[in-house]
Amino acid sequence: MIKDIFEGILKDKFATIALIVLIFIYFCLFFAEFIAPYSMNYTDRQLSYVPPSPIFTIDENGKLSKPYTYNYKRTYDEELMQTVFKLDRSKKYYLKFFARGEEYSFLWFIPMDRHLITVDNDGRLYLLGGDINGRDVFSRLLFGGRISMTIGFLALFVLFPIGLLYGGISGYFGGKIDMFMMRFAEAVMSIPSFYLLIILAAVLPSNMTSSQRLTLIVVILALIGWAGFARVVRGMVLSIKNQDFVKSAKMAGSSDLRIIIKEVLPQTTSYVIVAMTLSVPGYILSESGLSFLGLGIQQPDASWGNMLKEAQEYINILYRPWLLTPGFLIFVAVLSFNLIGDTIRDILDPKSKTR
């Protein structure tokens, strides 16, 4: 079945492109420490809101050269009340590939200090400029992406077991149990989801580390999503439970829970896959919405959502467009997920196959 899906995706041009884009993004995020020139919290106070470092390949004499960059020098214009960045053309910094830089743990345990791209120690390579604290936006995008792009999947891992089991039990037993369980699920669904989300996020205990906070946000996202999912599973289980193989398993004396888990739920796999791909982008967007309100991932940790928060100021949008890159990445990732999800749905929908 996985093979079917892959073949289907590869047949569709948009989906193929989307898949390549996503694989590329996840690849970069996975090797973030190596690709990023700096660590997530590397700060140069002189470079608050510095523009992206220009990279020159033809030098001032018009000759081709190894790529190099200059540092920015900050001055303050008292009259204009403005910080001015000027290129300091006295020293060139050549880009170095696979060179030594800040130390880090590659894949969380191998100590390493090689980076894909760096410059000499006193040079600064801010490929996408700096944020308010003088941190490298490009590096933070890579580290922040880890949170934004996995939060959806993490939520799904929490939500699916709950939803499947809840829907399975409800549908399998039917009757009063079904009636009560579904009323409860409907009640949860009746609360406008975004409101519930922000209320839950707002009541999070505050003395948490960022990883605890991330976990709780994941749980909250899951708590909101499970009801709708459980309802659909229940509907599918209702029709599955009367099929012969379920009946025979019952005759053989298997326990109810065993039948639900072993016989009934596997039948819903295709729906689960569609639901998964279609709901991941929703979670990415939710995270950005939460961060917009200051309820999501908190500083100094990065996520695309909380990086985009800085870009909301009018002045930043107009004068510091590099701060918009997290928004662009969210857009690309969500679009890719949607395109793939659509294609998978078309592939797995049994009715469309027959036509």
Using CB under 8 A as the binding rule, the residues of this chain from 131 to 170 that contact another protein are 132-134
| The only residue of 34, 56, 173, 271 in contact with another protein, by rule CB under 8 A | 56
Site for another protein contains 14 (CB under 8 A): yes
Nearer to another protein among residue 11 and residue 258 (C-beta) = 11
Nearer to another protein among residue 36 and residue 47 (C-beta) = 47
Site for another protein contains 294 (CB under 8 A): yes
Q: Are 47 and 128 in contact (CB under 8 A)?
A: no
Site for another protein contains 55 (CB under 8 A): yes
Question: Minimum CB separation from another protein for residue 60, in Å?
Answer: 5
Select the span of 114-122, 161-169, 251-259, 333-341 touching another protein (CB under 8 A).
333-341
Nearer to another protein among residue 115 and residue 213 (C-beta) = 213
129 torsion bin: left (phi>0), alpha (psi -120 to 50), beta (else): left
| The only residue of 90, 122, 183, 242 in contact with another protein, by rule CB under 8 A | 183
Nearer to another protein among residue 21 and residue 261 (C-beta) = 21
Q: Which residue, chain included where needed, has tokens 């989801």? A: 193
| The only residue of 207, 244, 251, 253 in contact with another protein, by rule CB under 8 A | 207
| The only residue of 57, 105, 248, 269 in contact with another protein, by rule CB under 8 A | 57
Select the span of 114-122, 170-178, 268-276, 281-289 touching another protein (CB under 8 A).
281-289
| The only residue of 8, 235, 289, 321 in contact with another protein, by rule CB under 8 A | 289
- Judged by CB under 8 A, the chain residues 240 through 259 that form the site for another protein are none
Site for another protein contains 12 (CB under 8 A): yes
Angle at CA 33, nearest 5°, toward 29 and 37? 110
Nearer to another protein among residue 190 and residue 248 (C-beta) = 190
Site for another protein contains 215 (CB under 8 A): no
Question: Minimum CB separation from another protein for residue 135, in Å?
Answer: 8
x-or-dash string of contact with another protein, 82-121, rule CB under 8 A: xx---x-x--------------------------------
The end-to-end CA distance of the chain, in Å, is 19
Select the span of 46-54, 108-116, 136-144, 231-239 touching another protein (CB under 8 A).
46-54
Other CB atoms within 10 Å distance of the CB of residue 107: 10
Binding residues for another protein, total number by CB under 8 A: 88
- Return d(Cα 147, Cα 80) in angstroms, integer: 39
Nearer to another protein among residue 256 and residue 313 (C-beta) = 313
Hey, what amino acid is at 64?
L
| The only residue of 109, 111, 175, 206 in contact with another protein, by rule CB under 8 A | 206
| The only residue of 7, 54, 105, 247 in contact with another protein, by rule CB under 8 A | 54
